[in-house]
Amino acid sequence: MAAYVVDVKDPALRSQVLHDLLDRLVGDEDRSLVVETFTVPKRKSDDDGPSGDDGDGDDGDGAGDPAVVTGIVNALASPPFMTAKRVVVVHDHGQLSAADAAPLVGALTDLLHTTDAVFVVGTGKVSKDLATALKGAESVGADSEKTTDVLIAELDRVGLTFRSDASKLVIEHLGEDAGRLPALADLLAAAFGPGTTLTAPDVEPYLGAAGSVPVYVLSNTIEDGDVAGALETLHRLLTVTSPRQAKPMHPLQVLAMLAGRYRRFLRLDDPTIRTAEDAHRALGAKGKSTFPSKKALDAARALGTDGLRRAVDHLHRADLDLKGATALGEEAVTEVLVARLAALHGRSRTRGRRTSGSAARR
């Protein structure tokens, strides 16, 4: 029949997309009889000990269990039993080496007219031959994985309406964890009933733990001069995990990210760089959009040479402290750094407004 590839990054959204696809493929049949599911085991890495293949495999790693590969091939080649169709679901096919994937490539070239094959993208890199064999497969994904878009879709699904304060609260609280929205929508629909319009106070008790946030939110809040917001964002980066981010960030990672950001500002502290296009070229930025370069240029101008010097001093001090120059813990050192940088930007913004006001009065 046909092959499908489910490619969704968020595991919770991926499960929902797969569920909806199987509903479509199975139809009125008994899912327990129609669907056969396989998960390819993770390859052994060098850290896991000997792989058992003497290191002469095509990629140097151990591969998935051969019994699983045999089971997948047999399922694809077997006619359905007690049903009119068969759906074979394969999770984590990126864990297959090229050698182990070879039988699957052959099976996909001659699928039975009664069988659908569904490959669910997970971990690992798909071998070249298998990726080529799946080029003709129908790609199935979420309409969007952005928290804002998923929220709109889920509210529509359960028949609820959010006032703007409720939407803002949920989006800020969940951050990148859009996969939590289907369950939240179902919970709110059960609690309040379809057709209800909810406010932030209505929603807040149901939100649970704060979700992860992208790292750029930290630089944004720092450059906005929002000390409290920057510290809250830092805390989430250092403590919160999510399906997309298995481990919290380490303070040294935060320092490296911020140091890279201020190196960009230093490159723009040049009187010959006057426009966003100039900044774009100076930074060697790729793509047509000059917005990130303009944002960096605005921040560099607001700080000025003296402000940039102080920012670099703060970064250097934090680097030494994280390497043992102080008795403060790593998180405390990072908090002090973020607070100092945000306060520095806040003072620069205030000074800029005063300068603009004086010029206007003149």
Give the pLDDT score at 215: 85
Please give the CATH number for the structural domain made up of 147-206.
1.10.8.60
* Range 2-49+58-140 has CATH code 3.40.50.300: yes
Rounded distance between C-alpha atoms, residue 151 and residue 82, angstroms: 40
Q: Give DSSP secondary structure letters for 157-188.
A: HHT-EE-HHHHHHHHHHHTT-GGGHHHHHHHH
Q: Is the separation of the CB atoms in 158 and 188 below 8 Å?
A: yes
Rounded distance between C-alpha atoms, residue 333 and residue 326, angstroms: 9
Give the pLDDT score at 204: 86
Going 330 to 335 to 336 to 341, the CA torsion angle's sign is positive
- For the chain, report the end-to-end CA distance as a whole number of angstroms: 77
How does 126-141 read in b/e, with b if 16+ C-beta sit within 10 Å?
Answer: bbeebeebbeebeebe
Give the pLDDT score at 342: 92
pLDDT digits (tens, 9 = 90+) for 327-354: 788 988 999 999 999 999 998 877 665 5
Please give the CATH number for the structural domain made up of 216-355.
1.20.272.10
In the structure encoding, which two tokens stand for residue 25, read together?
């493929």
pTM for this prediction: 0.55
Per-residue pLDDT of the chain (362 residues; tens, 9 = 90+): 799 999 988 888 888 889 889 999 999 999 889 999 999 988 765 344 433 343 334 443 444 567 888 999 999 999 998 899 999 999 999 998 888 889 988 889 888 999 999 999 988 889 899 999 999 899 998 778 888 999 998 999 999 999 999 999 999 888 888 888 888 998 899 888 889 999 999 998 888 767 777 888 899 999 999 998 899 889 888 987 766 666 788 999 999 999 999 999 999 999 999 999 999 999 988 878 889 899 999 999 999 999 999 999 999 999 999 988 887 889 889 999 999 999 999 988 776 655 555 444 45
Q: Give DSSP secondary structure letters for 103-140.
A: HHHHHHTT--TTEEEEEE--SS---HHHHHHTTTSEEE
Give the pLDDT score at 142: 76
Tell me the domain boundaries of the chain.
2-49+58-140, 147-206, 216-355
Q: What are phi and psi of 227, to 5 degrees?
A: -60, -50
